[in-house]
Structure 1
Amino acid sequence: MDPRTSAQDVMRCDLCETAVVQMHCDTCLVNLCTACVGKHMISDESKDHKVVKIQARKSTPLYPGCTTHAKDQCRMYCNQCDIPVCTSCVASEKHLGHKILKVLQVLDERRNKIKKDVTELNETIYPTYQDIASDVQNRMSQLEKEYGDLSTAITKHGEDWHREIDKLVQKLKAEVDEMKNTQLQTLQKQLDEINKTMSDIEDEIDSLEMIRDTNDLSKLFSVTLNVNLYRNLPNKMILSLPKFMQGTIHEELVKVFGALSSSSLTSDKHGYSMKTTQKSPEAGSSPPVKQLFDQPETVTTIKINIQAVYSLISSQLYNVACLSDEEIWTSGNDNTIKLFSIKQGSLLKSIKTKLGNSPDDIAVTKSGYLVYTDYDDRTVNIVKNEKIEEVIRLQNLKPDSVCSTSSGDLLVTMISDDYKQTKVVRYSGSTEKQTIQFNDKGQPLYSSGVYVTENRNLDICVSDYGANAVVVVNWKLRFRYTGHTPAPKNQPFSPRGITTDSQSHILTADGNNDCVHT
């Protein structure tokens, strides 16, 4: 029978099931008629029955029973132990000297905390997930359009060719569709996860609102608050579309017609930010561009003791690599790589190099493993569980700089024994995947002495201090940067360490002018 379209009966006594309810036992949570009150009071004399009029039900606090003293109720609260306690517990040595509060006082604080969490879920977290879901859907639509544009470009270029290249055109379009479907499937999977999380948040809100007004203190203290779980927003997927590079008509059709560059789909844990209650024109759009400091700000100073391998050379710090927001690896011209806490400035761990040589460069892989280059040994090594494994061994070349890419590959710069050749090589594990050494005219891209990093847009950025230039490559040379005039000290541009930020800006240290170029 549908209660919305049928007459509803009045509330009946839970004991006799016939008389109309007039009273309520706040202890046992049962409804009673006046005739059954006495019967109920003697049904279990071990309980302190609180019988009130039905209109005043849930007005009596239900104190939780003590787990240590079975017959006692917990009317107090130990602030240090964060648990309800009875008077016997308070008198015991276990809580001696602890701050004891009235449980009803803590109850009000807990109710306020639940109310605050429900408000945050309703007004901040859930709307943020709605915005993220909308963003993913919009990106999927944009992805459809851009891949469509890509297919159109391929088709238009194919129309300029003869009939025999139709098969090649279809093959390339199939690759586009495969890349598109792969990225769409990944985004759809993320969208499904986001929708599920939003459903979980709705359930959490309903659950918390239901229990918030209960007078059953056991339920209030036993409820698990999961709001912190939902504050951890999903990673934002960073899409990289393939590029169609057209060729000219030639008998070697496969080489000159054109090919697709590889696509990528990476995850950015900082891609989304929590929605604020204050509306702004940029709400729901991409993260705001962070401005560089006009003046440097010192967060922590860490003292690093370095003992140079050769006693005649002064001790110097060469490299820093971030393991996380709170920990950094450092290396200098000694044989020890050290892990420090950024906040505390304390030494957490030390790793000695395999052969006692000073590492030329260090990096942290996508999986969190330490990697270092040994110039003298011609090797690139990885540290797993404090054990050093050789990953790459070179012949007639020496490794210099190293960085870990968003795909998990390693970019290694290397120089020949006669110092006449310098190149950047991409490795997947120990397998060489790509070599970057010459431009389109067969001329060397780099001189001796380079540092390397990968930008978020997948450009390979090299600081070439032998040529006083920053060289940026993505399959082919994009541009060279040779500094600007006037420099702070009017000295020649001398790029050294290089990195990129979340906005794909390239930053390099200028050793001659004591500044950072961006």
Structure 2
Amino acid sequence: MATPRSCAQDAIACYLCAKPTQSYCITCQVTLCDKCARKHNDNFRHSSHNIVPFIEEEIELTFLSCQLHPGEKCKDHCRKCNKPVCNKCSSYGTHAGHDVMKFEKRVEDKKKKIEKEMDRIISLILEYQNIADNYDSRISNVISKFADLEQDVKMQRQLWHEEVDSMFDKLCFLMQYLKNKKFYALAKQQMDILNMISDMREKVEESKQILQSYNVSTVNAYQLKFKEYREPPEIDISCLNTLTDLETESVMDLNLEGFKAMLKKVSKPVMMGNINLFSTRKLLDEAKEIISIPTEQKPLFRVALVGNNEAWVSGITNTITRVDVQGSKVALFKSTCQEWPADIATSQLGELIYTDGSYR
């Protein structure tokens, strides 16, 4: 660690313009180039400022004045109380007998820690920057994977008759949801890394200013933050696989993040029941009444099941009602349709979906 004298010789930047230093103002304790020294002197021409050549001035630390002993400077630091003290405080005052150290030594030790932390943060910036730069390729990879997945879905969709379109619509909806979820998660992680890099750079600049400061209070109050940057955040780079086990002969098995469905070629048309059942059934020759549920929708146009015990129903009004198997009203939703919903359905997450086919 350099002495105050050698520090003054090393700090060659002007306090105001960063040009090489030629002068030093003892009154303000700032370094100045010749041009700034003249301006400084003109600005304070009504008061006495002692400006001397920089090489002749030995910079001293700025100490606080003791509040208990007027005229005394707090040149010592009480380790027990963690407070600045003057010579009288440590000799026969409230800090007599305490472990006291010279503030020059404390400032020197603190600046060593600050300098060490600054060097370590600088070394971390490159590591974090490399992580941030890799996010672009990761995001592109996710988009590419989902592009392949979308193409795969379209090719398989052409192999089957139009009665299974509703199943593929739900599959594409889930796929888009998962794509956005992955994309925004990676984008947010990238932004967090970039923000952390910006914060570390600001910390480095702040550390540089502290290292050039001779103000005891400023150096003593500086907070070390390296522990906050020591470990980079965990990065989730996992991605989805394309659809697997797709057969072009008699069976097609779809599997995507919990969405499962199997289709088989049969002589009669097939339909998908509730998509959550993940099964196929043959149509009956005649309709069979299992239960009669009363609703307020007369006439009743559309029904969308919610699990096994409830359903959304709609008629010739813009109101969609949720009822249970006893016909009790569970919820009521007023749509934005001009007349009535053209169709209603539920997403895999149980959310209500409706269309206004005549106007949108």
C-alpha distance in 2, partners of 1:147/1:189? Answer: 19
C-alpha distance in 2, partners of 1:144/1:259? Answer: 19
2:254 to 250, 254, 258: 258
1:432-471 per-position Cα deviation (integer Å, ceiling 9, x unaligned): xxxxxxxxxxxxxxxxxxxxxxxxxxxxxxxxxxxxxxxx
Partner of 1:145: 144
- Secondary structure of 1:53's counterpart equals strand
Mapping for residues 428-439 of structure 1, pairs under 5 Å: none
- Secondary structure of 2:236's counterpart equals strand
C-alpha distance in 2, partners of 1:260/1:95? Answer: 72
Give the letter for the 1:261 counterpart. E
C-alpha distance in 2, partners of 1:204/1:72? Answer: 34
- Secondary structure of 2:238's counterpart equals strand
Bigger shift: 179-188 or 150-159?
Answer: 150-159
Partner of 2:181: 182
Give the letter for the 2:243 counterpart. F
Partner of 1:117: 117
The alignment's C-alpha RMSD in Å is: 3.7
Q: CA deviation at 1:181?
A: 0.8
Contact 2:146 2:179 in 1 (8 A): yes
Q: CA deviation at 1:29?
A: 5.2
C-alpha distance in 2, partners of 1:146/1:132? Answer: 21
Partner of 1:305: none
Give the letter for the 2:125 counterpart. Y
Partner of 2:198: 199
Partner of 1:221: 220
Q: CA deviation at 1:117?
A: 1.3
- Secondary structure of 1:237's counterpart equals coil
Partner of 1:25: 26
Bigger shift: 80-89 or 203-212?
Answer: 80-89
1:353-402 per-position Cα deviation (integer Å, ceiling 9, x unaligned): xxxxxxxxxxxxxxxxxxxxxxxxxxxxxxxxxxxxxxxxxxxxxxxxxx
Q: CA deviation at 1:77?
A: 2.2
TM-score, structure 2 as length reference: 0.53
Contact 1:23 1:54 in 2 (8 A): yes
Flag the structure with more relative contact order, 1 or 2, with Cα contacts below 8 A and sequence separation at least 6.
2
Alpha carbons of 1:134 and 1:38: their partners in 2 closer, same or farther (altered >3 Å)?
A: closer
What are structure 2's unaligned runs of at least 5 residues? 1-13, 15-21, 32-36, 260-360
Partner of 1:60: 60
Partner of 2:134: 135
Which of structures 1 and 2 has the bigger CA Rg?
A: 2
Contact 2:135 2:190 in 1 (8 A): yes
Q: Answer 1 or 2: which has greater helix percent.
A: 2
Alpha carbons of 1:68 and 1:228: their partners in 2 closer, same or farther (altered >3 Å)?
A: farther
How many aligned residue pairs are there? 230
Partner of 1:230: 229
1:403-457 per-position Cα deviation (integer Å, ceiling 9, x unaligned): xxxxxxxxxxxxxxxxxxxxxxxxxxxxxxxxxxxxxxxxxxxxxxxxxxxxxxx
- Secondary structure of 1:215's counterpart equals coil
Alpha carbons of 1:221 and 1:39: their partners in 2 closer, same or farther (altered >3 Å)?
A: same
- Secondary structure of 1:239's counterpart equals coil
TM-score, structure 1 as length reference: 0.38
Q: CA deviation at 1:185?
A: 0.7
Deviation above 6 Å: which 4+ runs of structure 1?
none
C-alpha distance in 2, partners of 1:262/1:127? Answer: 40
Alpha carbons of 1:69 and 1:172: their partners in 2 closer, same or farther (altered >3 Å)?
A: farther
Q: Answer 1 or 2: which has greater strand percent.
A: 1
Q: CA deviation at 1:54?
A: 4.3
Partner of 1:162: 161
Would you say 1:86 and 2:86 are equivalent positions?
A: yes
Contact 1:242 1:262 in 2 (8 A): no
Contact 2:91 2:97 in 1 (8 A): no
Contact 1:243 1:261 in 2 (8 A): no
Alpha carbons of 1:179 and 1:68: their partners in 2 closer, same or farther (altered >3 Å)?
A: farther
Q: CA deviation at 1:184?
A: 0.9
